[in-house]
Amino acid sequence: MVGHFSLQLERRLRFLTPKEINVIDDLLTSVAPFGEVRLAVQKGKLRFVSSVKSHDAFELTGKPKESED
């Protein structure tokens, strides 16, 4: 676990909790350098968080796709 720190905000959070922010930050870190983090809101509250990690096809095949021109 990385050290603790305090973050001073310009205003109070209106939607996310500090715990939710940490979860989202962890997901963003885990999908880097390619990926998506999606937030789903239901009844005005964060209900689901999903992540998709993508891989560069060029890195998997070792060669770029040829142009169809």
Other Cβ atoms within 10 Å of 51 Cβ, number? 14
Which two tokens mark 34? 């390619």
Strand partners, 66: none
Q: Compute the mean pLDDT over every residue in the chain, rounded to the nearest whole number.
A: 85
CA distance 30 to 51: 9
**What torsion do the CA atoms of 29, 1, 24, 49 make, to the nearest 10 degrees?**
100
Q: Domain limits of the chain?
A: 18-59
Task: Write the CA distances from 24 to 16, 45, 55, integer angstroms.
Answer: 10, 15, 20
Question: What does the alpha-carbon distance between residue 35 and residue 29 come to, in Å, rounded to a whole number?
Answer: 10
Decide if pLDDT at 1 tops 60: no
Q: How confident is the model at residue 51 (pLDDT cuts 50, 70, 90)?
A: very high
Residue 61 pLDDT more than 80? no
Lowest mean pLDDT among 13-17, 28-32, 52-56, 58-62: 58-62
pTM of the model: 0.68
